[in-house]
Copies of this chain bind each other. A is one copy, B any other.
Amino acid sequence: MAFDPESLRYNEAGLIPAIAQDEAGTVLMMAWMTAEAVARTLETGRVTYWSRSRQAFWVKGETSGHVQRLIEMRVDCDRDCLLVLVEQEGPACHTNRRSCFYTAIRDGAEVEILTPMAD
């Protein structure tokens, strides 16, 4: 079946969450896409989100160089969440860590489990 980005289920703001995972299985980040961002990601092979703060397309790594090349896009059963398998250049997180999920809850406390990557 041909894939139509409009066939996905978007929230009231027209957004769908997209989880980025690298080839090693690390979950890097979660951000949001519009139908147009989904289409651009598939067309260009560069993962493109919608920045809610800037209200603009966000080609991941466009300014930082930490690009995400799309390996494969997957859709969940409810068609309201995406999983993008990516080749991540350097850190995915703006804190320079590989993954945005660098804090763990252990014994009721927050523990930092990832340090920023070297430049």
> A residues bordering B, Cβ < 8 Å?
1-3, 17, 19, 21, 24-27, 29-30, 42, 72-78, 81, 83, 93-95, 97, 100-106, 108-110, 113
**Which of B19, B75, B101, B109 has a CB less than 8 Å from the CB of A2?**
B109
A76/B105 in contact, CB under 8 A: no
Give chain B nearest CB distance to A5 CB in angstroms.
9
Q: For the complex, what is the distance from the CA of A104 to the CA of B3, rounded to whole Å? A: 10
In the complex, what residues of B have CB within 8 A of residue A72's CB? Answer: 104-106
B105/A77 in contact, CB under 8 A: no
In the complex, what residues of B have CB within 8 A of residue A19's CB? Answer: 19, 27, 30
Q: Which residue of B lies closest to A112 (CB)?
A: B1
Q: For the complex, what is the distance from the CA of A25 to the CA of B83, rounded to whole Å? A: 13
In the complex, what residues of B have CB within 8 A of residue A3's CB? Answer: 105, 108-110
Q: For the complex, what is the distance from the CA of A25 to the CA of B23, rounded to whole Å? A: 10
B73/A100 in contact, CB under 8 A: no
Q: For the complex, what is the distance from the CA of A101 to the CA of B93, rounded to whole Å? A: 24
